[in-house]
Structure 1
């Protein structure tokens, strides 16, 4: 597949991937910001407040009608977290008019509506509509609460939060519920103005489009007086402490959640990143991985057992669901899997299956325009662009020795156990 053609216009970074593979044109608008304790909650609310209404479409129903007129176009917004960056994102999908008898430029109409929603909000007394903000505060509280409802997600977030306490990474992507009481239409609008005027802005378009035409649309519909900062900070990739932290938390749960955080000291931009991908895949990234086979299947100690990477922060974390009284056994056998890889006990089958699994996962990225944009955005964060094809080729070249070398530099940082309120924490 072709790669993104990049350009600049109106202080906006423009990335276009011309392809006839998709019948929809996809527009992704991403504002890059540092994770900041005093602004994360507001920034996470901003996309949802903007989607409640704009200057010419004063409520969400009116915006939906406008999208319907564009042959069922869609427009959504939200935030994501990559390393120690908080990305404020908007996604618009609109049919390519080449596949319709109508000659009207639907791409331009999509840009026009998206621009209005982003840059012409409903105003009230020099700020956002108080009604919009109050309703969105209620919804945002529910988003944050939903993390507590899903204990797998909650345990993962809490483990990482304890592991990175004092680091920007510990700030949740949705911010904190305790900050909502202090937010109103005026101070949220101030954070919004700072975002749209100073945050580095990247616009992605994937579809059967001409890059020069996209640039002209960006210059026509996006503000031309932006002053983006170039002072975003890189993520800190740290070593683990000499003595791993052990955290036990008690809630009303029936199943224990044992999560383990490790420092890899390697992130997305490093040359050894492909070896880290292979290491994670062998450890717990797939159904054939050591954690799944040995902890879940053979020992029957876990309802689930896997590992995941935070690629932009140099962190790997293991997550497992266990019977509460099996904590010590589960922890021991998980540590054994780490030691086995360090000792080079990796079969040719594990190498082959992991390589194939990674290649397949990369290939599926090419079937999603927003995922292709996300891969590029990750390269912006890390400072190193890696195309899907480059990732596939680099993974194919990783040797068993490189995986073992990676295993021996991974450091245990935090052991987090979520258990029930019964019994003493000392039992853990």
Structure 2
């Protein structure tokens, strides 16, 4: 078998890359061991996060770092035995979170973040998936008046980025979400983002559109990719597949393919969990308790609670500590019903220390392209980063300068 381009990875980034290449006339095969949308694309909070123009940086306040060091906070947890291995990456992350490099990362991410909703809108309309999308934004909630005042001041500073939001006192917040408890004293309602009621189904719907338009969806192990004289070959259940070009869009597993080819990209994993709960009361918006480090989102499967960050080995067993902490806090602000899932779902966010993804050509292999490392924003940036890479691969003028996302920055 042969095609023009093999896309390795059927998560949201890989599927969108395949769709954009296909729309530009390429014959594309999408290869993964799993069905589309079965990895991290399945289990996130379902936010198309237009309001996150500033990347999630390493905290630099001493007292906050001290609290995290005690390992008792709900939003960040670490495995003590894994910390020494992760320490070099964390140090690099901390350095890139200083004011000047963080401002640089913000400028680099802005063109992608600004287009995230419109690029999703186009694919949603083409795939007929409007029933999965809500256009009512999401709400940050606060239980501490001091934290609320600080958050609302920070929100006002974001007006320079063209964002739309409303500052809510307790009465205004409870008018929008009547079933939040009186512990919540106010919030910020971000109006530009959209939310998804089933992120896994959205990815599957995009993949179905790809197949409907003539794309091949094949089961195969991406790690079998090997260079040939005229391109690349990968083994699939249907037999060997050859192409002139290949795209690595494997998210947290990208280094498993690239390391044998001689690449040493500093890709780390921020683990996160979700659990679904019975909806005993209505929740109209996705709400984020930033102090508690969790999101509650109304999903097709129930109310989904997604946790913050867990630093642990990617293949370490599930640890419910962080989920239990977040659940206890969530039950104080919203009447969650019983758990609906037999065990927590565990996802792995692929993160680079400078908070930017890798989008572009592999430096030392002709015809090999990269699209991964989107951290907390894989769902948000899947369509726009897929478009950018497709433009680069087909020689179109790119929607923004791709230089900040080059893999060569780690050479």
Please report the TM-score for the alignment, with normalisation by the length of structure 1: 0.23
**Higher fraction of strand:** 2
Q: More helix by proportion, 1 or 2?
A: 1
* Higher relative contact order, structure no. (Cα contacts within 8 Å, ≥ 6 residues apart): 2
TM-score (norm 2): 0.24
